[in-house]
Structure 1
Amino acid sequence: MVVIESARRNTPATRIFAFGLFALLLALLSLWSLTIGTTAIPLGDALRAIISEGTSHQDVVISTIRLPRVLTAIIVGSTLGVAGALMQAVTNNPLASPDLLGISAGAAFAVVISIVFFDAQSPLVFLWFAFGGAAVAGILVYMVASTGVSGVTPVKLALSGAVLSVFLGSVSASLLIFDMKAIDIIRLWSVGSLTGKDMAAVAAVAPFALAGVAATLLLAREVSTLSLGADVAQAVGQNVLLWRLVSGALMVLMAGSSVALAGPIGFVGLVVPHIVRLSLGTDYRWILPFCAISGALLVVMADGLQRSLTGIDVPVGVTLALVGAPFFIWLARLRAGGIG
């Protein structure tokens, strides 16, 4: 009876209302995050700093430090949430996400290469290297996972991604040992940080990230069909190879944008799609937009809470790992037990 009653309440009107509430909550959390920091700034002063171009200390802090930080959190959270949902749908693997399948590690490794060997410091340069690294990593993981008689399986994809992530992380660490200047640049970025972003960096990356999210939302019907499996998708006339390639390009676009802006932030792409699917079912026309706003909510909330509770600037990647790691262990045990 509970399930039937829940299904009755889960109507399009209810979902639209829920999305509106999520959007309102995101706006409120974002405003609250603007007031938190070494120096507390009243909400009214924070709003005035956004609207007007003042020169006071508070105005400068809001416009150059806290506002870019909040926008970065929103962009990163939404792109990772949507990228994770897309990856899980295309691979039919509930353990898939950009960080667990090596996509984020490939993008991060490419950014390290750009800093160590090309002395890159521009977010736009990071962005193009991240795109290339994410694409190469994705291809390598798929090639390794496709070997053997059984072909590509969820377990082989996860293992291939984990091995590649560890390998690229080790190589990156080895390169940074010999370049102290690069370590200073990449120290916080490498664990996923919202610190030190300016509006120029946000403006450089945002168009690519938002384009990836928007394109994925427009293709939600195709994604829903892909999530049913290759056999079903082909039976209803879908060109599976074409849409997998398109989906792969969108994953690279979103994961690369996120890594270029804030470094490799884990578990958002894993946790958010699962929570959304538990509430909405399997229709990606609803899952994808809710993953976008839920991912943004998660990152903004995680960043704001840790700054409010600890009073220090802990990288958001560390905070999310503390939440996401137990969730991943629980999910893996659930799958191993044949329940999920």
Structure 2
Amino acid sequence: MSVDTAETATRPDPPPIPSRRASHLVMLVTLVGVLAALILLGFFVGSGSFSISEVWHALLGQGDATTLEVIRNNRVPRTLLAVLVGAALGAAGAIMQSLTRNPLADPGILGVNSGAYFAMVVGAVVFGITTTSGYLWFAMAGAFLAATIVYFVGSRGVSGASPEKLVLTGVAAGSIFSGVGFGLTMIDPKSFDTIRSWQVGTLDGRGWEEVTIVWLPICLGCLVSMLLIPYLNGLALGDDRARSLGIPVGRVRAAGFVIVTVLCGAATAAIGPITFVGLMVPQTVRLLFGPDNRWLLPMSVIVGPIVLVGSDLLARVITPSELPVGMVTAFIGAPVLIALVRRKGAET
């Protein structure tokens, strides 16, 4: 027996390579831990100079009135609202990309958020709506209108609902909705004062009222979306093959667009139009977990809050006066979109 053969025979077996499922579970636990840490950090970071002990006691319901007001009625609901809106936009983006088989699809890019904002402006200018509960229904109607128009126009022609056509149609529709909405606020100063905090997307000044109103539609929308997972995986194979597998393509798309409408409408009613989160989140999850919607959609519900809570923390500390969170997500999302387009161009 040669020396090499003897060494090979006595060499211990290499450690087993962990399965993909095990690695996914490890990443899942890690992401949940990151989200929990960011939520806790959101309670401790913000305007006002409070020590860690003061914040902790305020969370337990102890301390002076000022500390309790800032911590329990400002930072806590603001952070929880960021979690809810991030989950809504992450899930909506994943559903939209799966329904259209377009990795560049996003509720913001496809004009859904702009449609919700436009409807909110109409509610404020024409009907005098001033409450989040009133905005919620208008925002959902506007989101559904925008999604319907974009998909109907973008699917016309021989090539059907191609990614390029849907993106171009969405950008055009979003620009029209945003422009008309902004014009309406300019001719009505009272409505402008009412709606201006929603125009760029901000969590500043949001409290328990917004959380109380939107948590139910967002949570229900995220839970119901999980029922679409097997159908979304079937749609990834193409409409004809999905039909051959017994998937009701039309009804699945209709249900998906209704869910996206509810999620985007509630998110926009709460803090205003937020762009790029619905694009960034599914793309990040797809890189980590792959294209299987059994992982893509649930993980988007976790990564979405990570992105939005993290952006809100940056918005609080990046300048002496807090930036709107929508501005931070735009700064982050624009380079991501450019990178995705360049990557897609390099592959084709």
CA distance in 2, matches of 1:202, 1:315: 18
Show the 5 A alignment for 1:53-202: 56-202=65-211
Pair 1:289 & 2:287 matched: no
Task: State the 1:53 CA deviation.
Answer: 6.8
Matching residue's letter, 2:94 = A
Partner of 2:4: none
Instruction: Number of aligned residue pairs: give it.
Output: 332
CA distance in 2, matches of 1:149, 1:223: 24
Output one character per residue of 1:65-110: Cα deviation in whole Å (capped at 9) or x when no partner: 1111101110111110111011001100111010011111111100
CA distance in 2, matches of 1:93, 1:305: 30
CA distance in 1, matches of 2:33, 2:252: 34
CA distance in 2, matches of 1:309, 1:143: 41
Task: State the 1:14 CA deviation.
Answer: 2.7
Show the 5 A alignment for 1:302-317: 302-317=311-326
Distance 1:118 1:10, change over 3 A: farther
Task: State the 1:10 CA deviation.
Answer: 5.4
Task: State the 1:54 CA deviation.
Answer: 5.7
Pair 1:335 & 2:331 matched: no
State whether residues 216 and 250 of structure 1, in contact with CA within 8 Å, keep that contact through their aligned partners in structure 2: yes
CA distance in 2, matches of 1:219, 1:31: 32
State whether residues 54 and 63 of structure 2, in contact with CA within 8 Å, keep that contact through their aligned partners in structure 1: no
Query: Highest CA radius of gyration, 1 or 2?
Result: 2
Partner of 1:5: none
Distance 1:35 1:91, change over 3 A: same
Pair 1:211 & 2:234 matched: no
CA distance in 2, matches of 1:297, 1:174: 34
Output one character per residue of 1:315-338: Cα deviation in whole Å (capped at 9) or x when no partner: 010011011011111212222334
Pair 1:12 & 2:28 matched: no
Deviates more, 1:53-62 or 1:288-297: 53-62
Matching residue's letter, 1:219 = L
CA distance in 2, matches of 1:27, 1:237: 40
SS in 1 for 2:318: helix
Q: Runs of 5+ in structure 1 lacking a partner?
A: 1-7
Output one character per residue of 1:5-25: Cα deviation in whole Å (capped at 9) or x when no partner: xxx545323322322221222
Show the 5 A alignment for 1:230-269: 230-269=239-278
Output one character per residue of 1:147-204: Cα deviation in whole Å (capped at 9) or x when no partner: 2222221111111111011111111111111111222222221111111111011111
CA distance in 1, matches of 2:94, 2:178: 24
CA distance in 2, matches of 1:43, 1:214: 35
Q: Runs of 5+ in structure 2 lacking a partner?
A: 1-16
Q: Output the TM-score relative to the length of structure 2.
A: 0.91
RMSD: 1.6
State whether residues 31 and 43 of structure 1, in contact with CA within 8 Å, keep that contact through their aligned partners in structure 2: no
Task: State the 1:307 CA deviation.
Answer: 1.7
Show the 5 A alignment for 1:222-233: 222-233=231-242
State whether residues 315 and 324 of structure 2, in contact with CA within 8 Å, keep that contact through their aligned partners in structure 1: no
Show the 5 A alignment for 1:35-50: 35-50=44-59
Pair 1:300 & 2:309 matched: yes
CA distance in 1, matches of 2:29, 2:294: 16
SS in 2 for 1:310: coil
Pair 1:220 & 2:232 matched: no
